[in-house]
Structures are given as C-alpha cells and as structure tokens.
Chain A
Amino acid sequence: MNAENPEAERRGLGSVLRGRQVAAILADVLRPATTQQLELDGSDLTEVNAYGAAVLRAAMETHLARNPSQGVSVIEPANSECWAHFSDLLGLPAGQRWSWSGTRSGAARGRNVLIPATIIRDSEDAQLIVDHAIPTAAGALGYGARTGRLLQEAAAVFLDNAEQHARSRPVRPVLCVAFHPPSNDLQLVSANLEDPEDLAVATATHLHDAITRSQLAHGALDDLAGRRRGDLDFTVRLISGTGRARRRSDEAWRVLDEPERFPGFVAGLEVHR
C-alpha cells in the first residue's frame, strides 16, 4: 500500500534498469499484488536500456495476465533525460491495462528508440516488425543498410526461436530496439518470461548445448552470431536461468553461470558503434 493511493501497492524500479539489475527487479514486479493497482515506482531511475525496457514490459504483461482484475501504473523518472528515454522505450499505453502515473507531462520524442518495447502477438506482428518497421526506422535514423539488415535478421531469428520454444507461455515475446548512449551500442532485445508452472532452470550447460547444436547444423543462431557483415562489430547475447552466453564478432562463444536466475529467455544483439 502507499500513502498517496491506498488502493495501490507500490514497488520500486531502482535507479538503473539494465544488466544484472533487471533480474533483481523482475522478481519484485512478478510478485502477486494484494490490491487492484500495482504501482511501479521509476522516480529514482537514471538509466535504462533496451534490455531493461523489454524485460520490464514482459514482466508487466505477465503480471497483468496472471491478475486479470488488476492494472499497473508506472511512476515517471524524476530525471528528465531518463524520463524522455524511458517514455520512448515503453511507448504509448493507449488501449492497454497499464498507464503512466501522470506525475510528469509527456516527454519530447527522442531519436534513440527505433522500436519501443512491443508485444509480438503472432507471426503477422513479427513479419510487420521485421520486414517493415525495423528497416523503416533504421533508415530514417540514418543507420546503414547493413546495420538495418543485421537488425532484421536478428529479430527474425529471435522471434522465430521464441515462437518455437514458448508456445505455452502466457505472454508473447517482447521486442525492443534502441540506441544506448552510455555504451554507444545499438541494442535489439527479445524477452520471453516463463510460466512459473513450467520452470526448468536453464544453466550454462543448457546454453552451451543449444549453441553446439546450432553450430553443428549451421543453424540460424550460429549464422547470426558467427557470420561477418562487412566491418560491423557486434555481439549476440543469450540469458536464461543462470546461464549467460555471448559472442562478439570474430571471437568464440563465452558461456558461464551467474548467481542471479532469470525466469525466462532473453536474446540480444548489440551493434557496437
């Protein structure tokens, strides 16, 4: 409960919504609320990237799917720069069961977000994003044709993988594409959360096996991560359970376990600028 709105239960998003911090806030967002309204407090946020936005959006949607009578409101960051970026990353809540709290007026649209965190409901959504939205946004924002095509391929591969392996999950995958100024990376992220009843803890061993299978079969993931694209420098990253894997251009896969368990699957592409 909170003093301003006793009908709402407030949970903090912390100050940084990226990397390891995302797994930490996720459990809190997914915890069932006891009131009709869940308030996610982003007022302390100073930094958020495409990974944070995609996972937060997937968590919000999962929470709403599990709690059909509840709504979610998000309290805007006090930091103006972060508010502008966060607002672009989460997009417009029109027609959905979440909303901005209204403590701040709308932020000016920036040029760093190509695709806001978007739920991909079916293969038509996926094709629309892959075939049209990504190349249009990448072209309009001045990214080269090769970068645009790499983003398209990554989105197609990640969303196809999500479709194949996540049919039983209550919430469809979320895709987000945005430039992250602090790292100077263009990031494309697909996030899928698991149904808690289907929890199978993925580890580095599982990811290693999946990568090896893809390498042996010249599969789409191996093609995406391992094939050179002119002079583009990029990294493909996978996160599932305690397993973490990444491969940067011209390097081998690095796979390891981390203590934080991520309840789902995240696939990301980072184009280093």
Chain B
Amino acid sequence: MSVKIQRYDLVKHGRVLATRPLGREVGRAASDILADSDGLLLSFYKVDVASPGFLSEVVNALRGTLMSTDDRWLLLTGMNEDVRESVELVLQRERMALGELEHDQIELLGGSSQLHETLREAQKMGTFTAPDLAERLNLKLPALHQRLSQLLEAGVLSREDDPTATRGKRGRYTAPNPRDVDDKDRQDTGEINAVVVA
C-alpha cells in the first residue's frame, strides 16, 4: 500500500505562533489538508514559539478530522524544547496523545505508558489485526481495542476493513514506518509531499 502524507510547514505563518485566532486559522487550513490526504506531517521547523493557546486551537481542529475517519495519519516534527513542552501541556489538558517524528523515530507525546508500549509493538508489526497484537501484548481484546481507539484518535495508526475476514467485519491496522517517511526537505519551507510506503 502506498500512501501520501502531506507536509504543512507552520513557519509560513511566522516564527512565533502565539494567539488563538491564528491557531483557529491554521487549524482550519491544516484540517482541510488532512481531510484531503492520507496523512499530515505538521512541521515546526524554524518555528521559535508555539503557545499553548495557539496549539490548542490547531490540535482541536485536527482532532475533529481524525475522529471522523480511521484512515489518516498525523505526525508532528521539528519541535524545539519550548514548543515540545507547550504541546505536552496542551495534550495533558485535552487528555489526548499525538505522534512525533524525530530522528527517524515515531514517539508518542502524551498518553499513558501502556499506550506508548502498544504503539511500539504496533510499529514492530507494521500491519496487524487486533487479535495478533493482543496476543503479543498478552492483553484481552476489549482492553486492546480501547488503546487502539486512542491511537487512531492520535493519528498514529490507520485502520481499514480486512478483506480476508471470513466472518463479520475485522479491522486491519497499519502503523507508519518512520524510515519510509521522506522528510529530507525539512529545511525548506512550503508544502512538500512526504511519501510513506506501508
């Protein structure tokens, strides 16, 4: 499966992103791109400051789009220590998690340690079904489904119906492989397609 992740460089709105009205504007623009693509790489390269108020508006707009579908990815990248702290504060307030792509790794920001562990195992498996992952984590299916829902809402997993299922509906999940996310042009500004092959 080949999917395209669209990259959105926030620095085009300035190096200091401090207000809620700007956050609403950026959130709308980023959500539109996410809705029209397979995923979004939200790039903070060259952004010096992103305030919690700004981020809260962006995150809430993107969450709306992520919750309307199970097949889109969202990753954050290029954050300095201040921006990362602000993101973590907002995720704590909003009780949610998001994925960060940094140094060819995808890590979860926010969320419980169990959620982090679940994502790590999911990344090792790449594409999987819930029973396979539950067995690997030695976890009952209902508990795993709760975690998978949170990871889908965080945009670090995608889900599609498994065509090989012989009875009823079964989901097939995919975690993005960071090595395949092409972010080599990260020093440039503007929108650049990053391609994920899963």
Contact = CB atoms under 8 A, between A and B. Distances in A.
A204 interface: no
Interface stretch (A23-31, A76-84, A113-121, A146-154): A146-154
Contact of B53 (A131, A223, A230): A223
Nearest to A158: B18
A140 B64 CA distance: 43
Nearest to A221: B53
Given A131-B14, A218-B56, A160 B49 contact: no
A220 B56 CA distance: 11
Contacts of B15: 130-132, 135, 152
B14 A127 contact: yes
Contacts of A224: 51
B105 interface: no
A157 B19 contact: yes
B135 interface: no
Contacts, number: 61
B156 to A, nearest CB: 25
A153 B51 CA distance: 8
Contact of B52 (A135, A148, A218, A230): A218
Contacts of A156: 16, 18-19, 49
Given A152-B48, A160-B18, A220-B18, A146 B82 contact: yes
Nearest to B18: A156
A65 interface: no
A229 B52 CA distance: 13
A201 interface: no
A119 to B, nearest CB: 20
9 contacts: A132-B15, A160-B19, A217-B53, A218-B53, A218-B56, A223-B51, A227-B85, A227-B89, A230-B81
Q: Which 6 A-B pairs have the closest CB atoms?
A: A156-B18, A131-B15, A156-B16, A153-B49, A152-B16, A223-B52
Interface of A: 127, 130-132, 135, 145-146, 148-149, 152-153, 155-157, 160, 217-220, 223-224, 227, 229-230
Interface of B: 14-16, 18-20, 48-49, 51-53, 56, 80-82, 85-86, 89, 93
Given A220-B19, A220-B53, 18 more contacts: A131-B16, A135-B15, A135-B48, A149-B48, A149-B80, A152-B15, A153-B16, A155-B16, A157-B19, A160-B18, A218-B56, A219-B53, A220-B20, A223-B86, A224-B51, A227-B52, A227-B86, A229-B82
